[in-house]
Structure 1
Amino acid sequence: MTHESTSLFIGGRWVAPSSGEVNTVIRAATEEPLGTTPLGGAEDIDRAVHAARSTTWSQVPAGERADIMEAFAKAIEARTDELARLVSAENGMPIKTSMPANVLFPTAVLRYYAALAPQTPWEEDRFGPGGVTRVLREPVGVVGAIVPWNYPQILAMMKIAPALAAGCTLVLKPALETALDANILAEAAIEAGLPAGVLNIVPGGMEAGQALVAHQGVDKIAFTGSTTAGRAIAASCGERLRPVTLELGGKSAAIILDDADIAATAAALADVSFPNNGMTCFSCTRVLAPAHRYAETLDAITEMASSLRVGDPLDPATDIGPLVSARHRERVERYISLGREEGARLTVGGDRPAHLDRGWYLQPTVFGDVDNGMTIAQEEIFGPVVCVIPYENEEHAVALANDSSYGLAGTVWTSDPQRGAAVANRIDTGTIGVNGYRMDITSPYGGNKASGLGRELGPEGLDAYVQMKSVYLPA
C-alpha cells in the first residue's frame, strides 16, 4: 500500500503547494517507495504563517480549548493502528515501540495539557507595597515547530499540546523522512473541529526550515533535532530576540554501581540503550562499569545485545528494526569503523545482518575497552551502538558521566535506590533515572549543555508558550 498526497494542510484545508516538487518517502525495511508528499518551500511556509496569524484561537476560553483538544485526542486514537504501522514503515521503529510512542504517549500529552488549560491562572492579582498588580499569562503567538524523523508524533505533540493549551497557533514542519504520518495528524485535527489555521503542516527540507525560523510572523521556535542545527536556529532566534526551545542531542551514561545486579541491569539496558534501534536522543550509549566487575558487565551486555532480534519492524517480536535511511546507516557504520581504528574492541555486531539483504539494517553493536575520550564515546552516533567504559570508584564514575558536551539523560543502576538517587543528583543532566528511565508527562524534560535550551512537558512546558504581562492598577 502506498500513501500519495498532493496537497498541504494550511488554513484548515488541503491546498495546492506552490511548486510541483515531490518528496518520496522510502520504506526503511524494503528500500521501496512508501508514498509521496509535496515538498514545501518558503512560499508555502509564508502562507501557513499568515493562516496561523489570522485565527482567534487565543480568544477561545480555556475550557473550550480543552474540549477541542480532547476531541483531537479521540480522533488520533481512532487512527491508532494506521499511525503506528505507518511510522514503523517510514523510519524502521519496531511496532511494539511505535504503538506507545506514536499514539498512547501523544494522546496522553494532549489530554494532560487539555486538563491543565482551565486550571492555569491566566489572570491573578498580586498585592504588593504599592498596591495591586494584575499578572496576565498571554499566548506567545505563532509557533514554528520543527520535528525530526525518529519519534515524529510524540515530538510534534510535545509542542502542539502545550501551544494549543496556551492559545497559540502553529506551523509544523515535519521531517521529510516521516512526512506521511503528519497527514494523518491533519485528518484528526479536521475531525476534531480544530479551527482553521490553528495547526498548519508543511513538510519540507532545509529551505522550509530556514524560512520558518526567519519568518517575521513567527513569535517562537520549538525545535527537536541535532545540536548542529540547534545552534544555527539559536543564532537566528538570538539575532531576532525571539524565544526558542531546543531539545537536542545526547550521549548519556548508564552508571552501573558496584552493588548492582549485573544480569538484571544488562537485561533492562535493552530498552534504555537500544530504544528505537538506537535512534533515540536519550539512549544511554555509554555504559560505565566498575573496573573490578568490568569483564562480567561487558559479557552480560554483549549477551543481551546478541539476543536482540533484528527484523521486520512490523513484526511484534522484533527488537531492532532498520535505520531510517541508507545515508544514516552509512553514518553509523563510519563510527563503527572509527571505533575499531581508535582501538576499541568489538564484542558483538558491527555488520549488516546476513539474513536481511533488503532494508537499512545493522546489527546491535557493543564496544569494550573504550576510553571515554574516544570519538565513539563523545559523539552522538544515533544507532544501535553501545560503548562499555570502566571506572575505578564512584567519584571516577561521576566524573566520566559529566565528561561530555551533552547533558540530556542518564541512568544509575544499584541495589540501593537511595544511593542511586544521590549519585543521580551529581550528574550534570536534564533528566536521569534510577534503575530505569521513563519520561514523565507531568515533569520537565530537556537537556543541559549542548543538549538544549528550555524544557518541555509538565507545567513548565506550558510556560514556554506563555508571555507574562504585569498591569499596575491604581491604589
Structure 2
Amino acid sequence: MASDFSGDYDHHVGGSYRRSNADDRLAVANPYSGEEWATVPNGTDEDVDDAITTAREAFESDDWRGITPSERATLLHEIADTIAEYAAELAELETRQTGKPIRDMEGLMALLPRWFRYYAGLCEVSSGAVLPVDGAPDQQFNYTTTEPYGVVGAITPWNSPLNLTVSKLAPALAAGNTFVHKPSEKTPVSALRFAELLSAHTDLPPGAYNVVTGDGERTGSALTTHGGIDKFAFTGSTTVGREIGRNAGDQLVPVSLELGGKSPNIVFPSATVDNAVNGIMKGIFSSSGQACFAGSRAFVHDAVYDDVVEALLERVDWITAGDPLDPETEFGPIAFEAQREKIRRYIERGQEEGATLLYGGGEPDGVPEGRFVEPTIFADVSNDMAIAQDEIFGPVLCLIRFDDEAEVIEAANDTRYGLTAGVWSNDPAQIHRVSNRIRAGVIWVNEYRLGSPRAPFGGYDDSGLGRENGMEGLDEYRQTKTVWIDHSDTVANPFD
C-alpha cells in the first residue's frame, strides 16, 4: 500500500472535474495519522444548481431516456466490472478516509459489484401489470407501468461511504433516474474517484452521476432545499434525517431515510455460547462500533451470563489495534476528533450512571495517542441509562441481564430506534416468537451483519423510512402510472 491520492480535488459534474464557484476548501484527514492529505470544495448554491441542472439535462437526453432496459442493464454491468477492476484502489481510499481496516474494506469492495449486477437483472424484469376490467373487457384495457422520478439527490455519511452510495445509486440508475451525490465532507474522495472511473471506463452518459462536495450546513442544505430534486435519499443521523424529511415534505418530494440504531443482541439459554460471543463481538467491535446496525445492547440470560462475560473478556484481548492499512489490523481509529470526544463522554456518563466498566474505556497501547477508543464493555446496565438508549456510534457494549422471554422482548423494543436485532437461540419455536415480536427492520438469528443486494434493509420508528436493497429498494426510485385504453367507437354520455 503505497498509493498517493493526495491533492486538491474538484466537484465531478457532467462526466469531468469542475471547479467550484467559491475558493474555500475543506481538508480531508487520515484518522490514524492525522495528516491532511486532500482538499475538496465547500460547494455553494451555484455549484449545487449546476450539478442538478446537469443531471436534469442528462435525464431528459436521448442518451439516457432513449436507451432500452437491456442497454441500461449493460451499463450497470460495466459499472460492476469497473468496481471489480479498481477494488484495491477504492478500498485503500476508503481506509485512508475512514480509518477502517484495509482487510475489511477489501472484502467490502469485492462485494459491491454484486449490487449493480443484481439491479442489472431487474432492469429486464417486467415492472407493470395488466388489470382486470369490470365494464367492457372486450373494449377496454387497463395496465400499470413504472417510471423513474427524475433527478435523485443523495447524501451519504462518513462511516461506510461507497457501500452506502452503491445501495442508492444502483437501484436509482436501474430505475432510470440520474443522480446528484453529496458525500460526507469527512470522506469525499472515494466518491470523486468513483465518478472519475465511471466516466473513463463505462458508457454511462455524462451527467447521470454527479458528485458535489461540501459540508452539510451549506452544500447539504442547498441540495435539500433546491426545488429541482425529484427524490431524496439519505443515510445518517436521525436529527439530520428529520430536517431532510421536513425539507422533502415542504416540496412534496418522496424521501428515503436510513438513520440510526440501538440494536439489541439477545442471548437465550439454548444458544451456543461461543457463537453468541462471536456475534456480539462482530456486532459492536468490528468497524470500531461505527455502524448504524451496531449491536450495542447485549441482553444475556442469567443462565449463560457468566459464561458469556468470561468469554467476552478473554476474546476482547485478542483484538489487534493499529494502522488500518496494515492487513493484520482488526481494529482501527475513530474517524475524527468530535466523534472520539462524543464516545469518551458517554463512557464517563455510563460510569456516572452506575454501570460497571468491565473492560476498556481508554486507548489501546502502541497506537497514535488520542485517535482510538478501546473496545469498551459495561456491565450492570439498566435499559433506561443513556448508554443503553442513545446511539453512541462507537465500540461501547452494554451488557444487560434478563431471565424472562417476555421481559427481554419488552426491553429490546424499549428504544426509539428499530433498525436491526440479533437473536441467539437453538429453540425453533422461540426463534419465531421473538423474531415476530421485535420491532426492527432486520432480524439476524444465530449470526450478525449478514447482507445482500437481494435482502431489503431499513428500520422502524427513528431508524428511518423506506428500504434499501431488493425489489423494495428499486421501488423507492420509481413511481407507478396507470393507463386506461378504450377501444370502443363511442364514449357513453355521462348524463344518460
Same fold (TM over 0.5): yes
Determine if the alignment matches structure 1 residue 61 to structure 2 residue 61: no
Distance 1:378 1:329 in 2: 19
Q: Is the 8 A contact 1:21 1:38 kept in 2?
A: yes
1:404 aligns with 2:404: no
- Equivalent residue in structure 1 for 2:476, among 460, 464, 470: 464
- CA 1:32–1:310: 2 relative to 1, 3 Å: same
Q: Which amino acid aligns with 2:360?
A: G
Letter of the 2:421 counterpart: G
Tell me what 2:343 maps to.
332
Does the aligned pair in 1 maintain the 2:322–2:366 contact within 8 Å? Answer: no
Structure 1 unaligned spans of 5+: none
Alignment of 1:183 onto 2:183? no
8 Å CA contact retained: 1:7, 1:14: yes
Matched residues in 1 for 2:37 and 2:56: separation? 34
CA distance in 2, matches of 1:388, 1:166: 44
Spell out, residue by residue over 1:263-290, the C-alpha distance to the aligned partner (whole angstroms, 9 max, x if none). Answer: 3311232222222110000111100011
For the residue of structure 2 that corresponds to 1:238, the secondary structure is: helix
User: 1:132-171 alignment to 2 at 5 Å?
Assistant: 132-171=141-180
Check conservation: 1:53, 1:142, Cα contact below 8 A.
yes
Structure 1 residues 128, 304: closer, same or farther in 2, change over 3 A? farther
Which residue identity does 2:213 align to in structure 1?
A: P
Aligned to 1:280: 291
> Which stretch shows the higher mean deviation, 109-118 or 369-378?
109-118
464-473 vs 50-59, which deviates more? 50-59
What code does the residue aligned with 2:123 have? A
**1:113 match:** 119
Give 1 or 2 for the bigger CA radius of gyration.
2
Paired position in structure 2 for 1:30: 33
Partner amino acid, structure 2, of 1:219: D
Give 2:24's aligned residue.
21
Alignment check: 8 A CA contact 2:375 2:396 kept: yes
Look up the match of 1:72: 79
Quick check: 2:15–2:196 contact (8 Å CA) kept in 1?
A: no
Separation in 2, partners of 1:301, 1:449: 31
Find out whether 1:453 has 2:465 as its counterpart. Answer: yes
> Counterpart of 2:377 in 1: which secondary structure?
strand
Residue 88 (str. 1) matches residue 98 (str. 2):
no
Q: Normalised by the size of structure 2, how large is the TM-score?
A: 0.93
Partner of residue 205, structure 1:
215
CA RMSD of aligned residues (A): 1.4
**Separation in structure 2 between the aligned mates of residue 301 and residue 418 of structure 1, nearest angstrom:** 27
Within 1, Cα distance between the matches of 2:442 and 2:334?
26
**Separation of aligned partners in 2, 1:418 and 1:179:** 46
Matches within 5 A, 1:422-461: 422-437=433-448, 438-461=450-473
Q: Is the 8 A contact 1:28 1:324 kept in 2?
A: yes
2:79 maps to a residue whose letter is F
Is 2:356 the partner of 1:345?
yes
SS of equivalent residue, structure 1 residue 54: helix
- Mean Cα displacement is larger for which, 296-305 or 445-454? 296-305
- CA shift, 1:2, in A, is 4.3
User: Which of the numbers 3, 14, 27 marks the counterpart of 1:11?
Assistant: 14
Deviations 1:121-173 (A, max 9, x none): 2x443222133212120001100010001110010011100000000000000
1:390 is matched with which residue?
Answer: 401
Shift of the alpha carbon at 1:386? 0.5
Q: Structure 2 unaligned segments of length 5 or more: list them.
A: 488-496
Match of 2:134 among 106, 129, 133: 129
* Aligned partners of 2:32 and 2:99 also within 8 Å: yes
Change (3 A) 1:65 1:2: closer
Does residue 375 of structure 1 match 2:386? yes
SS in 2 for 1:388: strand
TM-score (norm 1): 0.97
* Kept after mapping to 1: 8 A contact 2:363/2:370: no
Q: How far is 1:346 from its partner?
A: 0.6
Could you say if the C-alpha distance between residues 417 and 440 of structure 1 is closer, same or farther in structure 2, counting changes exceeding 3 Å?
farther
Amino acid at match of 2:258: E
User: In the aligned structure 1, how far is the partner of 2:277 from the partner of 2:133?
Assistant: 56
Rounded Cα–Cα distance in structure 2 between residues aligned with 1:290 and 1:120: 48
Q: Is residue 339–residue 375 contact of structure 1 (8 Å, CA) maintained in 2?
A: yes
